[in-house]
Chains A and B, each alone.
Chain A
């Protein structure tokens, strides 16, 4: 399997009045054309990892890495123009809440067309046709109607579909999805995951799926990275989750209530200081 993204010893830290906060502390992994899950609780650094790859880290943060390479391009030292070209064109990102990532004063169709036209030399009519086709590809039934709607006029699930359509229209090779379904109802969540799954398979994209939900990630991804306090504590194939070795992974799996398994009280996570070392 060819490596598309190689991350070597990546660190992200934020200077504050009280000292440096290290959000990500020297993590390494690589990604091919596969679905990689990054799991962790709030503050584990999972989102900052995704943002660092995307180049969306806040300007006051310090990023260092032995290497951060996408398809042979050194992302850390790439000129801003090149990074902008990569972003949206070859690397795309889906965020948790479509409400905040879609432009509220532009219709959904126009936003998708804009994305397409900024990244390629595409005629108006062709852009429109491709946007409609993309909306259909994310299983929006009435694509022509949705095309002219504004983000506040659609439901959360529909908004997230539109967001995915917008992100995938330029045909990226790598998709980073940061909690793409956490704000959605469970049934809608599965639809969205189904769409993502199909698109990743059909287009041969690499996917980084960032989530707090260990079970969901393991049911969706090929490989899972578990993060704790800015470090990777465990990396394993999704099917092997039941055999996880690190006590944190096991604790995280264990502490969720399960239908048909009555455990009172629920086992709680006994956080060991040495995990964070």
Chain B
């Protein structure tokens, strides 16, 4: 198997709090892998550790065959990009969409800036009418589309998605999930997606890992989960909870 992301016994500690306690996983190129868990399970920490935004205290991360050190170089960010949870917090409040998309191109020294920005906006279904707007002039769904455009503009091979739709309305969530599936197909991307929502993860991912308290609970394939073939009680609880409220007589 050609693995895009391989994590071995990864540890993350904030001061004395161990947010991640030796988690390992392997994601094949072109695969879509899901991480499910409740708050404090360490699922977002894992993504942030891969992106270089969390203090790694042990274990190894290998991206496309290269072992990552403490510092990420520019080439790394051409391969790995991330979409954040809160569309209201992930866009700079004083920059236009144009400026947001320009920044990565300038940093990486691209020459054909104009066509790239136009193409990026088209790809996420926004069109050039949105190019010179500020983020406060956009709805939540539009902001998340801009965030996706920004992540894709460097043409990464791995996209880290941290609850990309949990702050959106259900109808907007459907549109953004469809968009993500579309770009994954078009660009043969590898996804690592974090969510608290089992339904979203089974919809988007081939395989998934259930996490709790910074540790792995179990690993499942999407068909397993759909058929309710789970072995751990914790996962079963999550499954039951996701079906809504059941009145006890």
A–B: direct contact at CB < 8 Å: yes
Neighbouring A residues of B175 by C-beta, 8 Å: 268
Residue with the greatest number of chain B CB neighbours at <10 A, chosen from A187, A212, A216, A251: A187
> Measured between C-beta atoms, what is the minimum distance from B234 to chain A in Å?
9
Is B178's CB under 8 angstroms from A215's CB? no
Q: Is B115 an interface residue (CB 8 A)?
A: no
Chain A neighbourhood of B173, CB < 8 A: 255-256
Measured CA separation A42–B244 after assembly (Å): 21
List B residues 140-177 near A (Cβ within 8 Å): 140, 169-175, 177
Q: Do the beta carbons of A185 and B247 come within 8 Å of each other?
A: no
Main secondary structure of the interface of B (DSSP, over half): helix
Nearest residue (CB) in A for B177 is: A266
Question: In the bound complex, what is the Cα–Cα distance between A216 and B244 (angstroms)?
Answer: 5
One of A9-17, A85-93, A171-179, A190-198 contacting the partner? A190-198
Min CB–CB distance A247 → chain B (angstroms): 12
A–B pairs, 27, beta carbons within 8 Å: A41-B169, A41-B170, A41-B171, A156-B39, A186-B242, A187-B38, A187-B241, A190-B241, A214-B170, A219-B243, A252-B170, A252-B171, A255-B170, A255-B174, A256-B173, A256-B199, A257-B174, A257-B199, A258-B199, A259-B199, A259-B242, A260-B228, A262-B203, A265-B177, A266-B174, A266-B177, A268-B175
Task: Give Cα A56 to B211, complex, Å.
Answer: 40
Query: Is B90 on the interface with A (CB-CB < 8 A)?
Result: no
Q: Bound complex: CA of A271 vs CA of B228, how far in Å?
A: 34
Tell me which residues across on chain B come within 8 A of A262, comparing CB atoms: 203, 226
Cβ of B182 under 8 Å from chain A? yes
Interface string of A16-55 (1 = CB under 8 A from B): 0000000000000000000000000110000000000000
Chain A residues within 8 Å of B241, by CB: 186-187, 189-190
Distance between B53 CB and nearest chain A CB, rounded to angstroms? 23
Top 4 nearest A-B pairs (CB, nearest first) are A219-B244, A257-B203, A255-B174, A185-B38
Q: Is B181 an interface residue (CB 8 A)?
A: yes
Question: Cα distance A216–B247 when bound, in Å?
Answer: 12
B225 adjacent to chain A (CB < 8 Å): yes
List residues of B whose CB falls within 8 A of some A CB. Answer: 38-39, 140, 169-175, 177-178, 181-182, 196, 198-200, 202-204, 225-228, 237-239, 241-248
Instruction: List A residues 228-277 near B (Cβ within 8 Å).
Output: 251-252, 255-260, 262, 264-269, 271
Distance from B239 Cβ to chain A, minimum over Cβ atoms (Å)? 7
A150 interface residue (CB < 8 Å to B): no
Residues of B within 8 A of A41 (CB): 169-172
Q: A186-B38, A187-B237, A259-B242 are in contact. Are A251 and B171 (CB under 8 A)?
A: yes
Q: Are B203 and A42 interface neighbours, CB within 8 A? A: no
Say how far A80's CB is from chain B's closest CB, in angstroms.
35
Given contacts A256-B199, A259-B242, 13 further A-B contacts (CB under 8 A): A42-B140, A185-B38, A185-B196, A197-B247, A257-B174, A258-B199, A266-B178, A266-B203, A268-B171, A268-B174, A268-B175, A269-B171, A271-B171
Residue pair B177, A257 in contact (C-beta under 8 Å): yes
A113 and B204 alpha carbons, distance in the complex (Å):
48
- Contact of A187 with B238 at beta-carbon distance under 8 Å, contacts A220-B245, A260-B227 already known: yes
Residues of B within 8 A of A267 (CB): 174
Residue of chain A at shortest CB distance from B182: A265
A219 engages B202 (CB within 8 Å): no
Of the candidates A41, A266, A269, the one having the most CB atoms from chain B within 10 angstroms of its own CB is: A266
Q: Could you tell me if A212 and B247 are in contact, using CB atoms closer than 8 angstroms?
A: no
Interchain CA distance A116-B170 in the complex, whole Å: 39
- The answer to whether A268 and B178 have CB atoms under 8 Å apart is yes
> What separation, in Å, do the CA atoms of A42 and B182 have in the docked complex?
26
Q: How far is the CA of A261 from the CA of B202 in the complex (A)?
A: 9
A51–chain B nearest beta-carbon distance, Å: 19
CA gap between A258 and B174 in the complex, in Å: 11
C-alpha gap A260/B169 in the complex (Å):
22
CB pair A257 B202 closer than 8 Å: yes
User: In the complex, which residues of chain B have a beta carbon less than 8 angstroms from the beta carbon of A255?
Assistant: 170-171, 173-174
Minimum C-beta distance from B72 to chain A (A): 31
Quote the shortest CB–CB distance from B249 to chain A (angstroms): 11
Alpha-carbon separation in the docked complex, A268 to B200 (Å):
15
